[in-house]
Amino acid sequence: MSFNVVTNMRVMQDIKQSPYFKPNLGMVATIDKAGDRIYNERDKFAFFYNNRYRTTIYGQGNLGDIMFYVDHYIRDNQLAFYKEQEEFVFDHDPKMIEEKGINFFLGDILKRIDEKYKERVQKAEDKKIEIPKSNPNKIIQNPGAVSYEDLKAYLQSKNKL
Same domain assignment for residues 147 and 100:
no
**Predicted pLDDT of residue 159:** 82
Are residues 150 and 85 part of one domain?
no
Task: Provide, rounded to the nearest whole percent, the portion of the chain with pLDDT above 90.
Answer: 55
Q: Are residues 139 and 101 in the same domain?
A: no
Phi and psi (nearest 5°) for 6?
Answer: -120, 130
Backbone φ and ψ of 143, nearest 5°: -65, -20
57-98: per-residue pLDDT in tens?
999 999 999 999 999 999 999 999 999 889 999 999 999 999
Same domain, 158 and 95: no
Query: Which residues form the domain of 161?
Result: 130-161
Tens of pLDDT, residues 100-137: 999 999 999 999 999 999 998 888 887 776 555 777 88
Q: Give me the number of domains the chain comprises.
A: 2
Same domain, 10 and 65: yes
pTM, two decimals, is 0.73
- Asked whether residue 109 falls in the same domain as residue 60, the answer is yes
Query: CB within 8 A of 109, min separation 6: which ones?
Result: 79, 81, 90
- Same domain, yes or no, for 96 and 59? yes
Contacts 24+ apart (CB under 8 A), 23-29: 23/60, 23/61, 24/59, 24/60, 24/61, 24/62, 24/67, 25/58, 25/59, 25/60, 25/61, 26/58, 26/59, 26/60, 26/67, 26/69, 27/59, 29/56, 29/58
Cβ contacts of 154 within 8 Å, gap of 6 or more: 136, 137, 138, 139
Strands 66-70 and 58-63: antiparallel
Q: Which one is predicted more confidently, 99 or 37?
A: 99
Q: Are residues 76 and 144 in the same domain?
A: no
152 shares a domain with 92 = no
Are both 23 and 88 inside the same structural domain? Answer: yes
72, 140: one domain: no
66 and 141 share one domain: no
